[in-house]
Amino acid sequence: MRITDLEDNLRAHIWARIHRGELTGMGLARDAGFQQAHMSNFLNARRGLSPEAMDRLLEVLQVDILDLADPEELRLRALQRPERASSFDSVPLVSSHDAAMVPRLPPRQVLDSLKFRKRFLNRLKPDTIGDRSEWLRFVLVRADPGSVRAMMPRLASGAVLLLDRHYNSLRPYHRGMQNIYAVRLGEQCAIRHLAVASGHVILRPHNEQWPVELIEIGYGRSFAEYIVGRVCHIAVEV
């Protein structure tokens, strides 16, 4: 609503109370500290009010500025506000790891969704090798027991992992820290640190007592094709 609309509604409110005998223009001017001519010019729409002058009038009249707004407009704004002000995005949680390995999630394998702040998701930097424009970027998976044991103490039982599937390079995301990846290992997304050497993807555990595993890179394929995505957030159910 524009300020001129509020002023028009305030004039109508004052005139209605004058006609009911509840106040006079002269008395209102005096109580608000206005000159009578100033009040007369306002009531007859020959001039507007400064924000400070309107505040003084509202205080004397004991009227809230929302009382001057159009109720229908307020109702419509209230209905629209949650959508405009929404600061969260829903990220799907898949029921099986093989669903996380395909560009578009099969609807029947979406188990649930969790809310993440848009600001957090938008800050995450992608680093894509190859074309993943058709891939839904963020997906949630539950860590399988083998991955939990291999990555202890970085992972705990019940961990839910946010995967950025537009990050399938080996470039460290944080300087001096190893990335954690979801990588194709049969029908599972094995969660490991990764390296590449001698035609193999090397799955390195965080737990030193867990064995290193190798995936042979197929002829004509890139190591990046085996990477499902970078683990960019770990949540644990309690």
**CATH value at residue 163:** 2.10.109.10
Residues 125, 180 contacting (CB under 8 angstroms): no
Q: Are residues 99 and 200 in the same domain?
A: yes
pLDDT recorded at residue 85: 47
Q: What is the pLDDT of residues 214-224, one digit of tens each?
A: 999 999 999 99
| Domain's final residue, options 26, 49, 82 | 82
How far apart CA 128 and CA 179 sit, in angstroms, is 14
Q: How far apart are CA 171 and CA 159, in angstroms?
A: 24
Are 113 and 216 part of one and the same domain? Answer: yes
Residues 138 and 196 in one domain: yes
**3-state DSSP assignment of residue 218:** coil
Q: Which domain holds residue 129?
A: 88-236
Under a CB-based contact definition with an 8 Å cutoff, are residues 121 and 138 in contact?
yes
The pLDDT > 90 percentage for the chain reads: 47
- CATH of residue 14's domain is 1.10.260.40
For residues 181 and 183, what is the distance between their CA atoms, to the nearest angstrom?
6
Angle (nearest 5°) at CA 208 between 203 and 211: 45
Following DSSP, what letter does each residue of 166-215 receive, concatenated? TB-S---SSTTS---EEEEETTEEEEEEEEEETTEEEEE-SSTTSPPEEE
Last residue of a domain, one of 44, 63, 82: 82
Q: For 68, which DSSP code?
A: G
Q: Based on the domain organization, do 106 and 217 belong to the same domain?
A: yes
Q: pTM for the complete prediction?
A: 0.64
- Give per-residue pLDDT as tens, 135-167: 999 999 999 999 999 999 989 888 999 999 999
> Do 177 and 193 fall into the same domain?
yes
Selected residue with higher pLDDT from 80 and 235 = 235
Residue 1 is predicted with a pLDDT of 54
pLDDT for 81 equals: 52
Domain count, the chain: 2
Which of 44, 61, 82 is the last residue in one of the domains? 82
